[in-house]
């Protein structure tokens, strides 16, 4: 996964602003997490948490959380059968 060097050079110096910028630039959540990890020396867990909880990704978070809940319910139901 190679990220456009022009995007990297224009990326803001603060993590929250960078998240908004990266989303607007069309990067995926995974690409955004990688940039935060590389640029701000964050762990992947910290980067994932910042991206997932960011208002810039709220629409995707709702879908991700709904999928997670559905999968969890399916696992629980399968275990109870």
Residues 6+ away with beta carbon under 8 Å from 1:
30, 31, 34
pLDDT tens digit sequence for 52-61: 999 999 999 9
Q: Using CA of residue 50, residue 2, residue 7, residue 40, what is the dihedral sign?
A: positive
- CA distance from start to end of the chain: 41
How far apart are the C-alpha atoms of 8 and 17, rounded to whole Å?
13
pLDDT tens digit sequence for 10-69: 999 999 999 999 999 999 999 999 999 999 999 999 999 999 999 999 999 999 999 999
Q: What pTM does this model have?
A: 0.83
């Amino acid at each position: 996964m190679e990220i456009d060097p022009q995007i990297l050079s224009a990326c803001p110096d603060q993590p929250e602003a960078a998240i908004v910028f990266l989303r607007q630039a069309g990067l995926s959540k995974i690409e955004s997490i990688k940039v935060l990890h590389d640029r701000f020396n964050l762990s992947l867990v910290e980067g994932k948490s910042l991206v997932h909880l960011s208002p810039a990704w709220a629409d995707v978070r709702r879908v991700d959380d709904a999928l997670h809940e559905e999968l969890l319910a399916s696992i629980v139901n399968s275990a109870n059968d």
